[in-house]
Amino acid sequence: MSKIMSRYNPSTSEPKWQAAWEAAKAFDADEMDASKPSYFALEMFPYPSGRIHMGHVRNYAMGDVIARYKAACGFRVLHPMGWDAFGMPAENAARDKGIHPKGWTYENIAAMRAPMKRLGFALDWTREFATCDVDYYKQQQAIFLAFKEQGLVYRKKSKVNWDPVENSVLANEQVVDGKGWRSGAVIEQREMNQWVFKITHYAEELLEGLKTLDRWPEKVRTMQANWIGRSEGLNMRFEWEQVETFQRFDNPSNSSFSFKVDSGVNYNPITLGKITGEIENGLEIFTTRPDTLYGASFIAISSDHPLAISLSHKELLDTYPEKFGNEYSGVEKEISDFRVKCSQIGTTEEAIATADKLGFDTGLRVKHPFIEGKTLPVWIANFVLMGYGTGAIFGCPAHDQRDLDFARKYDLPVPAVVLPEGEDASSYDVGTEAYTGEGTLFNSGFLDGLSKEDGIKAAIAKIEEMELGHGTVQYRLRDWGVSRQRYWGCPIPIIYCDDCGAVPVPETDLPVALPDDVSFDIPGNPLDHHPTWKDVPCPSCSKPARRETDTLDTFADSSWYFARFAGGNTSDRPFDKAEASKWLPVDQYIGGVEHAVLHLLYARFFTRGLRDCGLLDLPSGEPFAGLFTQGMVTHAVFQDSDGVYIEPANVEEKDNQLLTIDTGKIVTKGDVIKMSKSKKNTIDPEDIIADYGADVARWFVLSDSPPARDFEWTESGVVGAWRFSGKVWNLVTATEFKGNPLNAADDATGDALDIRKFAHKAIDKITDGIEAFRFNTSVAQIYELTNALTKYKGDDAARLEALGILIRAIAPFMPHLAEECWAMIGGQGLCYHAPWPKADASLLTEDTVTLPVQVNGKRRGEISVPADASKDDVEKIAMAEENVVKTLEGLTVRKVIVVPGRIINIVAS
RNA sequence: GCGGGUGUGGCGGAAUUGGUAGACGCGCUGGAUUCAAAAUCCAGUUCCUCUGGAGUGUCGGUUCGAGUCCGACCACCCGUACCA
């Protein structure tokens, strides 16, 4: 073996091989053999923030392993890359630094593309685009119009966060502790007209489709199923308790109706008179627990329920301020104030659910459907959501925790009606914890003695018989509001005309392009402030009209980009139908688990919409056949004594103390958390590439942690990865035997046969690890093969074969090093084009196996037996083992369990 | 609050189906090589009251056998519909 070993130099080697791949158009799907089976590998495309971060490196390194592995396995692989380029950060930059969002975004893309290319990913850059390219969002506008034509788009009033100081809409992220993040003003909810995608049209299909996604993580399917939230229950009406009669306000000739109002509550008769429509005949509620109707203690309606709005006198006040303004007092005013209090909670589900329970007793009462003479009070409550069910519930405090909290706070009765097994009906009390489990119904009239399930059926049947309601299916899923009052997004192609209403922009007039001359000096939507952009003639009657100034939610951009990747950058349609239909669904999609619900559900909606508009031939409607969700990249946080965050690059260890390098201040190491700019615990991948090369960075992010789990970046870990690359290099440079590494060393015996066996067993383990997204175990196996080769002294065909296996196995992880090594040992062509190694089955079996022997479940010895030994023989050998005999002294053997190929357990006492 | 996940040596983790807990890597200790260092190579490294015993977040259960299954709990992380 040669003693002269030159050091592997990534800084010259990596650009060389990247140029070789590019010259060979190795990753250009159009250049690949079209007769091969196709494979679409895709990672969630990045937002162009300006710098690539370790999370990107990890995500794309994983995708690259799959893409390169599948290519080696004989697939024609499509592995594209693009940019999710619309969004708020660009507008924030414009506002804070005076840079135009467009320039900022495209500069960021350029700044990120370069290091991504230096990482040597097997990406088809010929298909690159950004969602802010006019060509792309033009087609998105066409899709919007097609969806509208298909009945998948409508307009609806929805709530937004309103900053009364900036006079603008804020994202949830921009609301901190209920206040605007810039203005500090208390945020109110405000209703605005919004464009909405009818995702609920596919609620059932989206739920059913989950069952077919057997290559998705179980947890993601569970989360989506829970998000869609199908529940069967009862829609029913509680009839009003009637005593006094008021004239209807809007049309006195209509039949009159009335309410019972508790003493002490005095509504203006006109307020009650205004309550019309469905409310007239009773209050409609939805429940999944009709079995507990006898435990009803109150009715609660949302503060946005039409009844609550009516009772607050709001509509009358809005319509006839001069007439009713001066009468605005008393209970109407109190309800109005209560509604304002509720509207300050915020629009997020979390804020609503964690807020203190607030209620307002309206004084109105409804009749219990089953109990003659019993009435229930109607409350307005802040925990009831208008967006789910009917916006009204009946409260059964004994068997619902939220209802119980509410009842305890307002001192409402808590009648128990479900008796848990083993409890006594006469003494049972729920205390502070509602009982939601199975049990037997009691105190429940005709339902007494029934189980929860039977009680639900019986109660629904009875209500249906009484014609008070019907069994129904509800979904938690809400339609997708897509209007955003922002500039840096895809303009919604609609024109408003006083005569014709909301008119779609004719397809020939697309794109509706964003104007470049916009100002970010005033808060709010720059498109709205633009002096001329929105003024256009109505496409239908040519009278002066106004453009929609809202843009689409950026989630729309990422809901169909994969189809554009597959179907080409067509200018006359969103993508080529035949091409896109050929590649889709994506065979393997990889991204962060934070997208488990929204992005993935929206994309599943879009592909169904595209299918039903005839744009895509995808019967299942499923865009992603395989999904993998990776964990985050984390790093320890460093802080000095003043609590100031310190970059890891500025921390050194001296005499067991952590100090800043520049000023020598003492630093403490804090939690290991997700890398973020604000905590300064980021590692710049570009620094790592410069110091160690792309291969080492890639190898390290894949080596230690299971891909699904969070990955902790440590400085020592990178050094280990660096050393490993040197070890492989040394193995190759030390080998003098040259030839075709694809040849099998069939005549090997002794040590040479052992190394062959080791290498072939390693192939299976490495392959299994890649297939199952357990790259860390593939890496461990590669380490073992490397160690075995280091120990193996022969310089012969067996060594060359094993090296050929090793190099092809590391190629998906460290492709540049693999190419360099491949060329050195005599491999033909690019290692990228070399076939994935295949294990020779005859080298995988062993004649003898070593089995542990337990006595009473504790390991006492080890025996070596022929692989095909019978159970009886194994038992005999085990019973004779020296240590086992010693342990069994004075004990009686009761039972011997032999698990072939696994273990022997002797039970003795 | 609700939905989902994670928890194993000093550290990252392995053990895919209930069958030898700690593979592999990092770190550390000792040795070889070297004028010396780096690099490389070899050996050791869960803990303890050590012929034995304990041990996979905590408590309890099922089993011949539990990191793995069941029940209760604790801690942390992700999502929660306008962050991407």
**pLDDT band at residue A469 under the 50/70/90 scheme:** very high
- 10 Å Cβ neighbour count for A339? 21
Measured distance CA(A725)–CA(A711) in Å, rounded: 20
Measured distance CA(A145)–CA(A704) in Å, rounded: 48
- The SS3 of residue A900 is coil
**pLDDT band at residue A427 under the 50/70/90 scheme:** confident
Residue A690 contacts by C-beta under 8 Å, 6 or more apart in sequence?
none
Q: What is the pLDDT of residue A1?
A: 33
Residue A819 has pLDDT above 90, yes or no: yes
Residue A445 has pLDDT above 90, yes or no: yes
Instruction: Kindly report the backbone phi and psi dihedral angles of residue A20, in degrees, each rounded to the nearest multiple of 5, phi listed first.
Output: -65, -40
Percent of chain A with pLDDT over 90: 62
Cα-based distances in Å from A434 to A306, A381, A437: 30, 19, 9
Which is more confident, A639 or A219? Answer: A219
Determine how β-strand A38-43 pairs with β-strand A76-78: parallel
Residue A848 has pLDDT above 90, yes or no: no
**Strand B at less than 7 A from CB of A340:** no
Measured distance CA(A357)–CA(A377) in Å, rounded: 17
**Strand B at less than 7 A from CB of A555:** yes
Verdict on whether the full-model pTM lies above 0.90: yes
In whole angstroms, B8 C1' to A706 CA is 14
What are the tens digits of pLDDT across the range A189-202?
A: 998 999 999 999 99
Q: What is the pLDDT of residue A345?
A: 85
Residue A384 has pLDDT above 50, yes or no: yes
Q: What is the pLDDT of residue A262?
A: 62
Residue A255 has pLDDT above 80, yes or no: no
Max Cα-Cα span within chain A: 108
Instruction: Kindly report the backbone phi and psi dihedral angles of residue A473, in degrees, each rounded to the nearest multiple of 5, phi listed first.
Output: -110, 130
**Strand B at less than 7 A from CB of A355:** no
In whole angstroms, B5 C1' to A816 CA is 36
**pLDDT band at residue A149 under the 50/70/90 scheme:** very high
8 A C-beta contact, residue A899 and residue A885:
no
Its ipTM equals 0.94
AA identity, residue A201: H
**pLDDT band at residue A252 under the 50/70/90 scheme:** very low
What are the tens digits of pLDDT across the range A470-501?
A: 999 999 999 999 999 999 999 999 999 999 99
If you search the block for the tokens 């006040």, which residue do you land on? A317
In whole angstroms, B4 C1' to A445 CA is 39
Measured distance CA(A669)–CA(A24) in Å, rounded: 48
- Scanning residues 641 through 700 of protein chain A, those with a beta carbon under 7 Å from any atom of strand B turn out to be 673-674
**pLDDT band at residue A770 under the 50/70/90 scheme:** very high
In whole angstroms, B81 C1' to A48 CA is 24
Q: How far is CA A376 from the centre of its chain?
A: 42
In whole angstroms, B6 C1' to A709 CA is 8
**Strand B at less than 7 A from CB of A598:** yes
What are the tens digits of pLDDT across the range A738-756?
A: 889 999 888 888 889 999 9
Q: What is the pLDDT of residue A624?
A: 98
Over A70-105, what HEC string results? HHHCCCEEECECCECCCCHHHHHHHHHHCCCHHHHH
β-strand partners of A474: A231
- Within 7 A of a protein CB, which nucleotides of strand B? 1-6, 11-16, 19-21, 23-27, 39-42, 53-54, 64-66, 77-84
- Scanning residues 834 through 893 of protein chain A, those with a beta carbon under 7 Å from any atom of strand B turn out to be 850, 852, 854, 856-859, 862
Q: Which residue is nearest to nucleotide B39 (CA to C1')?
A: A723
Highest mean pLDDT: which range of A423-427, A633-637, A734-738, A761-765 = A761-765
AA identity, residue A767: T
Which is more confident, A882 or A853? Answer: A853
Cα-based distances in Å from A448 to A372, A416, A442: 17, 12, 5
Q: What is the pLDDT of residue A3?
A: 37
Q: Which of A293, A484, A540 is nearest to A399 (CA)?
A: A293
Instruction: Kindly report the backbone phi and psi dihedral angles of residue A188, in degrees, each rounded to the nearest multiple of 5, phi listed first.
Output: -115, 160
Residues found in chain A:
909
Which nucleotide is closest to the Cα of A765 by its C1'? Answer: B16
A520: left (phi over 0), alpha (psi -120 to 50) or beta: alpha
Q: Which of A238, A61, A146, A37 is nearest to A689 (CA)?
A: A61
**pLDDT band at residue A270 under the 50/70/90 scheme:** low
**pLDDT band at residue A887 under the 50/70/90 scheme:** confident
Tokens representing A22 are 């590019």
- 10 Å Cβ neighbour count for A834? 20
Which is more confident, A740 or A281? Answer: A740
Which nucleotide is closest to the Cα of A173 by its C1'? Answer: B83
In whole angstroms, B33 C1' to A534 CA is 79
**Strand B at less than 7 A from CB of A243:** no
What are the tens digits of pLDDT across the range A650-701?
A: 776 665 566 777 777 777 666 666 776 667 777 788 888 888 899 999 998 8
**Strand B at less than 7 A from CB of A155:** no
